[in-house]
Amino acid sequence: MSSSYGENIRLTVFGQSHSPAIGMTLEGIPAGEKINLDALLRFLERRAPGRAAWSTSRKEADIPEFLSGLNDDCVTCGTPITAIIRNTDVRSQDYDNIKNIPRPGHADYTAQIKYSGYQDAAGGGHFSGRLTAPLCIAGGICKDLLEKKGISVISRIFSIGNVMDNGTLESSTGGKPFPVVDDKQGEGMQELIAEVKEKGDSVGGIIECAVTGIPAGIGDPVFDGMENRISKAVFGIPAVKGIEFGAGFGVAAMFGSENNDEFYFSDGVVKTRTNNCGGILGGITNGMPLTFRVAVKPTPSIAIKQNSVDLSDGRDTEIVIKGRHDPCIVPRAVPCVEAAAALAVYDALSVKE
């Protein structure tokens, strides 16, 4: 089913931007796992709107209510975990025209066709970036459970527009107000975001993610290798248009003698000197950090007038989008990418060998 993910655990996200609630059900988490609610709330806070200049001013408390699957002391009882977040700060009137005049870059038109006009268009409906909140609940739980196994999912903004981060992703940037390695570059990114906001425009970027501490031998070729699994999860985040593992598109211009990661022993453990494969060979982890990058498009909602069509009368028209929008979705997408990766890795680890 399309709003579900996973083979061994299974996440289902539900809700629309302006429905009574959004939420998620997560099946397959073993009984007896303590859910760290504090860590989860801190994780969700990284995605929450209304916190900073680059974010929409829509404010939602976004505190999940757990309806099932936990005992009184937040320990899993082995059956489906459901959590919901009530939608409170709803302004449906901002979106009245969407069904007739689709916003460029949004799913308005495609939803109109797919659902024969019955889609819940308000706020983007099920396509809203808001649906990444339930993804982050599930992913945050998985991330925390992975942490207990010594596996960390970390990430950073790799670039915004043409401003690139420096340095190497080696530890979590989640504690920083702006998640980059080089804060100086982060300032440049924030300046760029402020500029495009000023112009009523938006800008895209790249997020880099790494999973460290993952044991060798995880992933199931042919179609459930780590690349397949992570891609399927990551493209569930609206605005992602590309993914690459290790050297990624860079491999295209490399020779085999450059690209091959040579093996060596380090204290009895097999490692590779380079990590062009992103820790994945034949879809299976090799024990090195699993690394990937995703391309995030500029927020399609911009204040600048755009051309569109009026589906009600079959004529070309113009559209000016009102409402509250992020000039750059990338910073808030960082925890979403971690969530997707954690979900995919946890699922892959749950295969009984």
User: Taking CB under 8 A as the criterion, which residues in 298-337 touch a copy of itself?
Assistant: 298-302, 304, 306-309, 311, 314-316
The smaller minimum CB distance to a copy of itself, of residues 5 and 178, is found at 5
The smaller minimum CB distance to a copy of itself, of residues 102 and 289, is found at 102
The smaller minimum CB distance to a copy of itself, of residues 55 and 175, is found at 55
Q: Quick one: which of 49, 123, 125, 289 contacts a copy of itself (CB under 8 A)? A: 125
User: Taking CB under 8 A as the criterion, which residues in 139-198 touch a copy of itself?
Assistant: 159-162, 196
The smaller minimum CB distance to a copy of itself, of residues 177 and 215, is found at 215
Report the nearest approach of a copy of itself to the CB of residue 170 (Å): 22
237 CB contacts (<8 Å, ≥6 apart)? Answer: 132, 135, 294, 333, 336, 337, 340
Q: What are phi and psi for residue 301, nearest 5 degrees? A: -75, 110
Q: Are 230 and 292 in contact (CB under 8 A)?
A: yes
93: contact with a copy of itself by CB under 8 A: no
- Look at the block and give the residue holding tokens 């690394």: 291
Q: Quick one: which of 49, 64, 102, 188 contacts a copy of itself (CB under 8 A)? A: 102
Q: Quick one: which of 4, 57, 166, 312 contacts a copy of itself (CB under 8 A)? A: 4
Q: Quick one: which of 45, 147, 183, 201 contacts a copy of itself (CB under 8 A)? A: 201
Query: Helix 132-148 vs helix 37-47: angle between axes, to the nearest 10 degrees?
Result: 140
Report the nearest approach of a copy of itself to the CB of residue 277 (Å): 7
Q: Quick one: which of 114, 148, 149, 322 contacts a copy of itself (CB under 8 A)? A: 114
Q: Quick one: which of 39, 59, 78, 172 contacts a copy of itself (CB under 8 A)? A: 78
User: Site for a copy of itself (CB under 8 A): how many residues?
Assistant: 153
User: Half-sphere exposure (CA, 13 Å, Cβ side) for 219?
Assistant: 25
Would you call 183 helix, strand, or coil by DSSP?
helix
Q: Are 338 and 290 in contact (CB under 8 A)?
A: no
Applying CB under 8 A, which part among 51-59, 168-176, 179-187, 289-297 lies near a copy of itself? 289-297
21: contact with a copy of itself by CB under 8 A: yes
Report the nearest approach of a copy of itself to the CB of residue 58 (Å): 18
The token duo for 51 is: 């916190």
Q: CA of 192: how far to CAs of 82, 161, 167, 188, 205, in Å?
A: 39, 8, 20, 6, 11
Q: CA of 200: how far to CAs of 94, 194, 195, in Å?
A: 17, 10, 9
What's the Rg (C-alpha) of the chain?
Answer: 21
User: Taking CB under 8 A as the criterion, which residues in 219-278 touch a copy of itself?
Assistant: 219-225, 227-228, 231-233, 235-236, 238, 240-265, 268, 270, 272-273, 276-278
Q: Quick one: which of 111, 138, 141, 337 contacts a copy of itself (CB under 8 A)? A: 111
Q: CA of 118: how far to CAs of 2, 35, 227, 295, in Å?
A: 17, 38, 35, 31
Closest by CA position to 165, among listed 209, 207, 212: 207
The smaller minimum CB distance to a copy of itself, of residues 34 and 42, is found at 34
Would you call 295 helix, strand, or coil by DSSP?
strand
The smaller minimum CB distance to a copy of itself, of residues 85 and 153, is found at 85
